[in-house]
Amino acid sequence: MQNTVLEENSDTCHPMFRAAPSGVEFNKLRKRLLRLTRQAIEDYSMLPKKPGVKKPKWLVGLSGGKDSYGLIALLLDLQWRGLLPVELIACNLDQGQPNFPKEILPNWLNANNITHRIEYQDTYSVVIDKLPATATYCSLCSRLRRGHLYRVAREEGCDALILGHHREDILETCFINFLHGGRLASMSPKLINDEGDVMVMRPLSLCAEEDLEKFAQAMQFPIIPCDLCGSQDGLQRNQLKKMLLDIETRMPGRKDSMIRALTNIRPSHLLDKKLFDFETLGLGE
């Protein structure tokens, strides 16, 4: 991507930023998030490189949480600046949760002139029916939600589903797999779904959750809390979030170091025989 100076006036940013704070700290925060988002898009080849390829169309998952608000806002800002040549459509999946404020997202999307689709599917009842109250809802809820988003992406003619997972999501998933799954794996910034017809991409992969939290507060996004998995205590991910926060507090910069480690794999220094040929490794005779 070209190095373009991010101007600070209303002519070079999406209209939703015209009411944003104008202070130095917010401008630094927004620039940092935009830079890291662009870096992830470039590093993981989220845009087609071949000339003449049709303009990509992305379906952006919008849950009503801080991360997905930040995702659509940053993508729209990059698009406004001419740095993201894609067509964007936001999609919220109304999962039928009790007391879900149905008017908040449509009102916000319309107020900001954002192309969108609201899809109603009562996955809440399915999760509650299939799992006991003591079970963790996240896994089943996520699979059901993802399946519907894939379908919507197909129906809208989108090339990719764009999700708002950030740096901490990637690290927490890595530790969940390491400690509970017996494998070294995390979230990929870019992958193809099992059916092989929808790309899944995570442009916020390098962005810190703390920065997205500050960004959401400054932009005054109308956050909608999750009343399903978000209401459960003692989740593995929550425990690991606390662990990573404690590590970062004691040793600042460790989260960035862990992310760099995930980009610097040494198969010969691990124990996986499928990744390194230990059998033929030996001293020459």
CA distance 213 to 216: 5
| Cα distances (Å, whole numbers) of residue 160 to 100, 146, 169, 188, 250 | 27, 12, 20, 14, 39
Please list the residues that pair with 191 across neighbouring strands.
200
- Grade residue 53 by pLDDT with cuts at 50, 70 and 90: confident
The tens digit of pLDDT for each residue in 119-161 reads 887 666 665 655 555 556 566 567 777 778 998 999 999 999 9
The highest-level CATH class for domain 10-266 is: alpha beta
What strand order describes the sheet that includes 116-120?
116-120, 87-94, 57-61, 160-162, 199-201, 190-192
CA distance 27 to 158: 32
Please count the residues of the chain.
Answer: 285
CA distance 68 to 104: 14
- Give me 88's structure tokens: 């964007």
| The CA-based dihedral angle spanning residues 115, 152, 159, 194, taken in that order and rounded to the nearest 10 degrees | 150
| Cα distances (Å, whole numbers) of residue 61 to 149, 161, 268, 276 | 8, 7, 38, 38
Mean residue pLDDT across the chain: 86
Residue ranges covered by each domain of the chain:
10-266
CA distance 225 to 240: 20
Whose CA is closest to 258, among 248, 268, 267? Answer: 248
pLDDT for the residue numbered 97? 73
Report whether pLDDT(165) > 90: yes
**What is the pTM assigned to this prediction?**
0.86
CA distance 200 to 197: 10
Report whether pLDDT(52) > 90: no
The tens digit of pLDDT for each residue in 201-250 reads 999 999 999 999 999 999 999 998 765 555 444 467 788 999 999 999 99
- Grade residue 6 by pLDDT with cuts at 50, 70 and 90: very low
